């Protein structure tokens, strides 16, 4: 008992809530926040790379290495988001952390995080397929050119 009743919304860094900070913000919750942030940052870089691919008029000049690095960045973002979603899905309804846990439900933001993880994985594998395909086609064309000489 801390001598004060906490009701309603409070700012987590408020001096009144400082005593409860370790209970409110568990280690696993900080892991979820960290991996979500890493996923956001890596996806922003991947979006910039995809934008650079799409503004290029001549796709034959885009290197397969650039497409493969874009795929790697997108799959890295999906991996980070997957860790965050799985961790929150497992620990989010923990009785020790969530008061009245039986009355709480995973909301639309959790569903959007799951959908974004799935879509990032799909886009990453499509880019990976395209990059490998482009690399194989270029090596095949080079072999055909050397054989014709």
Rank 12-16, 28-32, 84-88, 145-149 by mean pLDDT and report only the highest: 84-88
Query: What's the confidence (pLDDT) of residue 61?
Result: 78
- Cα–Cα distances (Å) from 78 to 8, 49, 121, in that order, read 35, 16, 6
Q: How confident is the model at residue 122, as a pLDDT?
A: 98
pTM: 0.80
Rounded to an integer, the average pLDDT of 28-38 is: 93
Q: What tens digit of pLDDT does each residue of 115-126 get?
A: 999 999 999 999
**Angle formed by the axes of helices 108-148 and 27-55, nearest 10°:** 40
Q: Where residue 26 falls among pLDDT bands split at 50, 70, 90?
A: confident
Residue 99: the pLDDT is 65
Residue 95 reports pLDDT greater than 60:
yes
Q: Given this model, what pLDDT does residue 97 score?
A: 67
pLDDT tens column, 62-74: 888 999 999 999 9
Of 26, 3, 5, nearest to 98 by C-alpha is: 26
Mean pLDDT of 26-52: 93
pLDDT of residue 11: 78
pLDDT tops 90 at residue 15: no
Question: Measured on CA atoms in the order 38, 40, 46, 49, is the torsion positive or negative?
Answer: negative
Cα 62 from Cα 42, distance rounded (Å)? 21
């Amino acid at each position: 008992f801390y001598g004060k009743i906490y009701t309603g919304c409070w700012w987590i860094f408020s001096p009144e809530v400082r005593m409860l900070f370790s209970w409110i913000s568990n280690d696993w919750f900080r892991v979820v926040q960290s991996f979500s942030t890493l996923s956001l940052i890596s996806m922003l870089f991947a979006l910039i790379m995809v934008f650079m691919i799409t503004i290029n008029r001549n796709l034959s000049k885009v290197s397969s290495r650039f497409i493969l690095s874009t795929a790697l960045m997108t799959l890295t973002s999906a991996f980070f988001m997957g860790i965050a979603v799985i961790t929150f899905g497992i620990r989010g309804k923990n009785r020790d952390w969530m008061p009245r846990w039986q009355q709480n439900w995973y909301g639309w933001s959790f569903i959007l995080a799951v959908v974004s993880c799935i879509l990032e994985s799909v886009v990453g594998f499509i880019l990976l397929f395209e990059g490998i395909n482009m690399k194989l086609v270029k090596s095949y064309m080079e072999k055909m050119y050397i054989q014709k000489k």
